[in-house]
Amino acid sequence: MSGGALAGLDERQLEAVTTLRGPVVVLAGAGTGKTRVITHRIAHGVDTGAYSPGRVMAVTFTAKAAGEMRGRLHALGVEGVSARTFHAAALAQLNFFWPTLAGDRPPTIVDNKVRLLAHAADSIGMDLDVATLRDVASGIEWRKVTMRTIDEYAAARAGGVGHLDVSRVADLQRAYEKLKDERRQLDFEDVLLACAGMLEAEPTVVGAVREQYRHFTVDEFQDVSPVQHRLLELWLGDRRDVCVVGDASQTIYSFAGADARFLLDFERRHEGARVVRLETNYRSDASILAVANELMRGRPGALHLEAAGDVEPGPTPTVTGYQDDGGEARGTAAAISARIAAGVDPRRIAVLYRSHAQSVEIARALADAGIAATVLGGKRYFDLPEVRQAIMALRGASVAPTESGLVDVVRDVLRSLGLTDEPPEAGGALRDAWEARAALLRLAEEAPAGTSLRAFTDDLLARAKAHHEPGLRTVTLSTLHAAKGLEWDHVHLIGFAEGLLPIGYATTFEQVDEERRLAYVGITRAARTLELSWSRGARDRRPSRFLQEIGSRSLREARATASTAGASRRGGSPTRTPTRGSAAR
């Protein structure tokens, strides 16, 4: 298995994988294979006897990423590694030790912070709308992950929330904490704080945890918050066997408490730390990487990405300006339609934007063009009513004996529910339902030979539980935040204008720099082609300052004919895009 763990790695990846004793910091740029490095490093450690699987904790930030890590380790023949999110690891420790320490069952977890806040507001005579409650909830989350008291929060956030001054916000937070304690509940952030408090206060507990886990790996270390960093320190104690992996240029959650300084200062905090830089990008064309490098030039911790191999650069990324948002949406839809007509799989195309509100125009334009689209972060696939209905029907059919093969049975059941051989011509709900059912048929077609219908439906239920969703043959629409960690061959990044990217409320240097990193994340999602666009809109927007910073060396103006086809129907004609030194200033 050692050969398998080390096979196919480049020189820098090999260095990271074979450096089995910490402290190690892997600075991994976009598309450089960081998940491969993490899992192969653990596998190599287990194979050589340096690690015992049950004593390894691999921490990441989403349940999906943790599941992918477990899957890759399984493929490498490694079982028993604890691959979890910070919250899942902390909750498991609380649930294990709480009954012994407190002589009672652990507190329950708040399932809806906004609802509980509404009850707390009622208790002190406040009548607040949902938007205000959500903003207060975000403030509570930020306060806790940055390890501040309510008074410290009030001092740091002097502006208040909406029409509430900061003293009233503090009163509401106190009422929320009081109600939560009365109900014996913990919220999501309390789990981390309570686990850290338990480890600090109980020597026997921290001793047991440190005895259990000897080797730590932390992915996406640029997104670590102060409370997560404190928890990691408590898990480690005075030991040094920790490997952290991250990219400061992809820090896009500072507003939620993430602090890239933990990554940037790791070498200083950990004497003798080994630093490995991964800068060979295996995802994107060299022309796309040139844009990414220009955008991040000179920023703290920025890596210089280089394309793998000696392949000639592909088409230079384009930038197109439009008179209005509708014209931009139709121009983008026309470009996507032409690409699909040329044989590109819709699953390899994405439209990215800064905020959810921008999805409305592009979704309408794609539907008008007969192109099916899926909004990332929308309803989960296995929660779609047509999918739930289909699984129930398939489960029912699995009871009756049949001589037909799996694919034929699944096709017959889905046809009875409305699946046709060809998709509906128009976009919208009918097309979305067709795509959802067609994805189930593709899963049946991809199942191993001899799979029974019962085994197939068992697998569907397991997939639903693990959020392992099939890829729909649709164009993806996504915010830049939701797109992080994903990739597509062809990316359209719309709304590249002042007020949208950077967003209007980003006024400080730090806030604008976070917007820059968001743009960088969007750009580095693209593998083959990248098309940027902006529109003047009703407020006479200007092109984003980031376009000027990237400059004309890495971008070209899209040919008018490439975008007029989609814009001319309703008058959204393209405009020339300023380059360095012009009106983009």
> What tokens were used for 430?
């009918």
Contact status, residue 573 vs residue 323, Cβ threshold 8 Å = yes
What integer pLDDT is reported at residue 570 of this predicted model? 37
Q: How far apart are CA 319 and CA 563, in angstroms?
A: 11
**The three-state (H, E, C) secondary structure of 375-399, written as one string:** ECCCCCHHHCHHHHHHHHHHHHHCC
What integer pLDDT is reported at residue 585 of this predicted model? 26
Please name which of 264, 296, 472, 291 lies closest in space to residue 378, comparing C-alpha atoms: 472
What integer pLDDT is reported at residue 2 of this predicted model? 47
**In degrees, to the nearest 5, what angle opens at C-alpha 147 toward C-alphas 146 and 148?**
95
* DSSP one-letter code for 53: G
Q: How far apart are CA 479 and CA 351, in angstroms?
A: 9
| pTM, entire model | 0.80
What integer pLDDT is reported at residue 425 of this predicted model? 63
Tokens 């405009």 belong to residue: 575
Question: Which amino acid, one-letter code, is at 221?
Answer: F
554 to 143, 295, 344, 547: CA distances (angstroms): 41, 10, 25, 10
Ramachandran region, residue 220 (left: φ > 0; alpha: ψ -120 to 50; beta: rest):
left
The distance between the two most distant Cα atoms of the chain, rounded to a whole number of Å, is 73
Please name which of 504, 497, 537, 396 lies closest in space to residue 454, comparing C-alpha atoms: 396
Contact status, residue 38 vs residue 245, Cβ threshold 8 Å = yes
Annotated binding site: 28-35
What integer pLDDT is reported at residue 567 of this predicted model? 39
Distance of CA 577 to the CA centre of its chain: 31
Annotated binding site for ATP: 28-35
What integer pLDDT is reported at residue 564 of this predicted model? 38
Please name which of 86, 81, 168, 96 lies closest in space to residue 132, comparing C-alpha atoms: 168
Q: How far apart are CA 571 and CA 556, in angstroms?
A: 23
Q: Mean pLDDT, 10 residues at a time, over the chain (585 residues)?
A: 73 94 92 93 93 93 87 90 93 93 90 92 89 88 93 83 85 94 93 95 93 94 94 93 94 89 93 94 92 92 88 83 92 95 94 88 88 78 85 87 86 89 68 80 86 89 74 86 93 94 87 94 95 88 90 65 36 42 27
Q: How far apart are CA 14 and CA 336, in angstroms?
A: 39
Contact status, residue 259 vs residue 228, Cβ threshold 8 Å = no
Please name which of 509, 578, 512 lies closest in space to residue 550, comparing C-alpha atoms: 578
Please name which of 71, 78, 9, 572 lies closest in space to residue 276, comparing C-alpha atoms: 9
Enumerate the β-bridge partners of residue 478: 352
DSSP-derived pairing of the beta strands 574-575 and 318-322 = antiparallel
Sheet strand arrangement including 56-60? 82-85, 56-60, 215-218, 242-246, 24-28, 274-278
